[in-house]
Structure 1
Amino acid sequence: MQWFSSSPRPFVGLVLMAMGMAASGAVQAQQPAPMQSAGAVQYRCGGIGLDESTAMRSAMPSYPLALLFAAAGGEYLADLSVRLSGASTAEFTATGPVCLLQLPQGKYTVTATTKDGREKSQTVDVGASSKSLDFRF
């Protein structure tokens, strides 16, 4: 009793269909978080899940400022309040552990506050090259 077809065509079709579905899923997962605005600052936050985290981290050099939020043990954090003061001011919620910011050049103080009230501040001079701030709580 033969349980498979002697023609490879049905199997080739299934393999091609599966590859197409996998590829379309990978493309969808790589889409960046939407750009949002807070005053003169535009930002996108994300990085939840491996694909999105990889996409956000690879985009970091394309932005004047990138922010990364994590616990002391390395676990990523989200839903932090972020406040920028300096050359421009802005306030927003970091909905993911990575935030990419488009903002005017100048000196900024970035303050991040966790849901349980822990707060950290860092100062950065945003210029021609990309900068990154790592907030560990």
Structure 2
Amino acid sequence: MPAMKVQGSARFACGGIGSDESTAMRAAMKDHPLSLLFARADGAYLAEIAVTIKDANGATALAMRASGPVCLIDLPAGRYTVEAATEGMTKSQTVTLGRGSKTADFRF
């Protein structure tokens, strides 16, 4: 598993390149409030995705480059907009964190 990094009130780890790391990260998804998955429409995993997560007030809670197709993110409870961009395409999803874990799946 990649080490967790800290940015403001967020903690995160991205990876999942290689079957062992991918399996470990997928198993850990349940232990984090938010997980992000990145893939092409055909299912091929993607990395090097620009990610911005904004809170309900529009303030940036986390801005990073996902170094792998799976990101585990710890953020305080609340409503967030997750924006992911790659290859000239941008997609966004709104998630509410608080109970259990949520997964945002981005297909490009």
Q: Partner of 2:26 in structure 1?
A: 57
What is the RMSD of the two structures over their aligned residues, measured on CA atoms?
1.0
- Segments of structure 1 that go 5 or more residues without pairing to the other structure are 1-31
- Provide the C-alpha distance between the structure 1 equivalents of 2:79 and 2:97, rounded to a whole number of angstroms: 6
- Provide the C-alpha distance between the structure 1 equivalents of 2:88 and 2:10, rounded to a whole number of angstroms: 24
Give 1:1-137 correspondences, 5 Å limit: 32-86=1-55, 89-114=61-86, 116-137=87-108
Bigger helix share: 1
Q: Cα deviations across residues 60-84 of structure 1 (Å, max 9, x unaligned)?
A: 0000000000000000000001000
- Compute the TM-score of the two structures, normalised by the length of structure 1: 0.74
Greater length-normalized contact order (CA 8 Å, ≥ 6 residues apart): 2
Shift of 1:37: 1.5
- Provide the C-alpha distance between the structure 2 equivalents of 1:59 and 1:117, rounded to a whole number of angstroms: 30
Equivalent position SS for 1:56 = helix
Moved >4 Å (runs of 4+): none
- Segments of structure 2 that go 5 or more residues without pairing to the other structure are none
Query: What code does the residue aligned with 1:72 have?
Result: A
Q: Cα deviations across residues 22-60 of structure 1 (Å, max 9, x unaligned)?
A: xxxxxxxxxx10111222110000000100000000000
- Please tell me whether the aligned partners of residues 38 and 92 of structure 1 are also in contact (alpha carbons under 8 angstroms): no
Percent of residue pairs identical:
53
Bigger strand share: 2
Shift of 1:121: 0.1
- Provide the C-alpha distance between the structure 2 equivalents of 1:98 and 1:55, rounded to a whole number of angstroms: 10
Query: What code does the residue aligned with 2:84 have?
Result: A
- Compute the TM-score of the two structures, normalised by the length of structure 2: 0.94
